[in-house]
Copies of this chain bind each other. A is one copy, B any other.
Amino acid sequence: MQRYFVAQEQMSDHKVTITGEDVKHIGRVMRMEPGDEIVCSDGHLRTVRCEISLVEESLIEARIVEELVPNTELPVYVTIAQGLPKGDKLELIVQKGTELGAFAFLPFSAARSIVKWDHKKAGKKIERLTKIAKEAAEQSYRERIPNIYDIHSLAELRNQISSFDAVIIAYEESAKSGEKMKLAEILQSLSVSQSVLVIIGPEGGLTTTEVEQLTEEGAILCGFGPRILRTETAPLYALAAISYHFELMR
């Protein structure tokens, strides 16, 4: 069944009111009519099955038929802090990372980031990434849309560290030196509803200085297996491993 996210205020006890782009999608693209059913999420863990009762040019109303408990959110809150990569890799990371259950994405300007975002560019980029996250969340049956944070500096990223229950750095040198216990150890120590920040360098990796500054604040270096992963592959590895650990092994 087709799924849509709506704002909390668009969902009352018995009715969902749809406005904006989704009206066109439901009415023109999907050609749905009164009587057809859709699933709506308010992005705050309320998901309902509902029957369309009114289709207008710029507004659709649907009567709530059933409260659903899809239970598709990862049991731990994973934020991906991604050193700005080249090209459209961040779009791939947000799309696939959303499917894999990421709670939020935090892009940061790393020393080796070749791409720079000025203020104007950043706004547009984040708007586009938010749209990608929404579509991926709908497609993958998520109950919430991951948040896309504004671009952070390394100092701002450091300031975030203390607000997470665990902070992991995907570290190439750890992979090369055969380090392979840390990730499993950290996941073992985490409980349901705790939060984890996964920090990933851009192409070329984090510098020694960056690594020092992050580990000083409590971030822990982890190898993600013995192979060297590209910057856009590392977050997907982390999310799949976390899903396997918390959702399939228990």
Interface residue count on the A side (C-beta < 8 Å): 36
Assess whether B240 is in contact with A180, with CB atoms less than 8 Å apart.
no
- Interface-located stretch among A48-56, A93-101, A148-156, A193-201: A93-101
Within 8 A of B (CB), among A69-97: 70-72, 96
Assess whether A248 is in contact with B241, with CB atoms less than 8 Å apart.
yes
The proximity string for A residues 124-168 relative to B, scoring 1 for CB distances below 8 Å and 0 otherwise, is: 000000000000000111100000000000000000000000000
CB of A211 closer than 8 Å to a CB of B: no
Using A224-B243, A244-B244 as known contacts, list a sample of 18 further A-B pairs with CB atoms less than 8 Å apart, ordered by residue number in A.
Answer: A71-B178, A99-B228, A99-B230, A99-B233, A100-B225, A100-B227, A101-B225, A140-B229, A141-B176, A141-B227, A184-B249, A223-B248, A225-B247, A226-B247, A236-B236, A236-B240, A240-B240, A241-B241
Residue A181 contacts which of B99, B100, B248 (CB distance < 8 angstroms)? B248
**A contact set with B: CB distance below 8 Å:** 70-72, 96, 99-101, 139-142, 176, 178, 180-181, 183-184, 223-230, 233, 236-237, 240-241, 243-245, 247-249
Assess whether A183 is in contact with B248, with CB atoms less than 8 Å apart.
yes
Give min CB distance, A219 to chain B, whole Å: 18
Q: Which of A176, A233, A240, A243 has the most CB of B within 10 A?
A: A240
Q: A241-B241, A244-B241, A244-B244 are in contact. Are A227 and B99 (CB under 8 A)?
A: yes
Assess whether A233 is in contact with B181, with CB atoms less than 8 Å apart.
no
Assess whether B233 is in contact with A96, with CB atoms less than 8 Å apart.
yes
The residue of chain B having its C-beta at the shortest distance from the C-beta of A244 within the complex is: B241
B-side contacts of A229, CB under 8 Å? 99-100, 140
- C-alpha gap A248/B142 in the complex (Å): 28
The residue of chain B having its C-beta at the shortest distance from the C-beta of A230 within the complex is: B99
